[in-house]
Amino acid sequence: MKELSRAQIRDLMGEVLKNQGKALPADDAADLREVGFRSLDFSELALRVEDATGEELNFDAPGLRRIATVGDVLDFLVELQRQ
Amino acid sequence: MSDPTTPARPVPPSSVVLVSGGSRGLGLAIVTDLLDSGLKVAAFARTVTPELAKLADAHPERTHVGSVDVTDLAAAQAFVRAAEERLGPIDGLVNNAAVGQDSLHVHTATADIARIIETNLTAPLQLTRLAVRRMLAQGRRGRIVNITSICAQRGFPGLVAYSATKGGMDAATRSLARELGGRVLVNAVAPGFFASEMSAVLGQTQLDQIVRRTPTGQLTEPEEVVPVVRLLLRDQTNINGQVIVVDGAASI
């Protein structure tokens, strides 16, 4: 199975934000609320990862509630690809 | 992850609309109206009727039709892909396909209950998931209209499983509207009984009774529902997560 790297996911996250006129900070500790990255943006990012890997990613909402920073998003999706 | 409330951009009017169950009755009327309004329409049904085929012939550049059973998810996926290749990205969905019922609950076969639930509830939820995934993956916004029924809100004998599925879709409409955060507008239109094939499940006595109790003095016609569907797909109204009843006030 093809797997996207953390850096590749970061690029996709930047594209999701750019489409909304927002910028992805370089700092992984940046707060998602300040960035303006919402849960539907996370869904869009996950679907872009699916599109790139050809593997469907399904997950429960509680996992998402722990996500607060840019780094959390990247870690979550990297880990999700390995499950 | 928590979402702050931020003013969202309005969802643009739909321009390419997928209609399930578009071959006859209300579905055909919706397809006809959307084409008359200049939209592109992808419509499927178990059988492509001569009426739907005629519409496709009249608008070949704006129409994609096919024979698909809504419960066949793989076939529905293939249809959506082909429709998007031909018409462009789908940004509107009308979940209209449904099967009726004409049997008291105690006399309805278990297999028939399962079939009604699969066709009227599971399949539209799956089709919605498919459409929304494509919208989100491409960073697009869109609109969804679920065709439900007054049966979801009022009781009618012989329609127990049918009513349960329509109530389920009304409930899903509200939760989807919340979940999709204004990026996709989700509403339902709940017609009263038509003097058509779906109303064949009610006896003449019941239909007469409904007419007597309806302030407008008439059963609903598909042509009276169509403008409401078009409004939800096209107009800027901020209506979201609602079930709009079109029944001449029979149910109030």
Supply the ipTM of this predicted assembly.
0.79
Chain A residue with CA closest to B8: the answer is A20
* Mean pLDDT estimate for chain A: 92
Token pair for residue B41? 């329409």
User: Is residue B217 included in any domain, yes or no?
Assistant: yes
CA-based max dimension of chain A: 34
Tell me if B172 sits within 8 A of B146, measured CB to CB.
yes
Q: Work out the number of other CB atoms within 10 angstroms of the CB of residue B218.
A: 14
Q: Is residue B166 a contact partner of residue B67, using CB atoms and an 8 Å limit?
A: no
pLDDT at B6 over 70: no
Residue-wise pLDDT tens digits, A30-53:
999 999 999 899 999 999 999 999
Q: Is B204 on the interface with A (CB under 8 A)?
A: no
Report yes or no: A13 at the B interface, CB cutoff 8 Å.
no
Could you give the angle at the alpha carbon of B184 between the alpha carbons of B1 and B40, nearest 5°? 150
Mean pLDDT of chain B: 93
Range with the poorest average pLDDT among A30-39, B18-27, B152-161, B188-197: B188-197
Query: Considering the domain boundaries, does residue B32 fall inside one?
Result: yes
Check CB contact under 8 Å for B6 and A32. no
- Contact assignment for A39 to B1 by CB distance below 8 Å: yes
Domain membership flag for residue B10: no
Alpha-carbon gap: A13 to the closest alpha carbon of chain B (Å): 12
* Whole-structure pTM value: 0.91
Which range of residues forms the domain containing residue B111? Answer: 16-246
When divided into structural domains, chain B yields a total of: 1
In B118-200, where does DSSP find H-type helix? 123-137, 160-179
Q: Is the pLDDT of residue A13 over 80?
A: yes
Is residue B7 domain-resident? no
Residues of B marked as catalytic: 162
Contact A65 B1 (CB under 8 A): yes
pLDDT at residue A2 in the model: 82
Tell me whether strands B40-45 and B63-67 are parallel, antiparallel or unpaired: parallel
Residue B145 pairs with which residues in a beta bridge? B94, B187
Q: What is the CATH number of the domain that holds B85?
A: 3.40.50.720
Domains and CATH numbers, chain A: 6-82 (1.10.1200.10)
- Helix, strand or coil for residue B40? strand
Residue B52 lies in a domain: yes
Tell me, yes or no, if B89 comes closer than 8 A to chain A by beta carbon: no
* Residue B52 tokens, joined: 């739907």
- Contact list in B for residue A40 (CB cut-off 8 A) is 3, 136, 180-181, 183
Q: Is residue B221 part of a domain?
A: yes
Contact B167, B123 (CB under 8 A): no
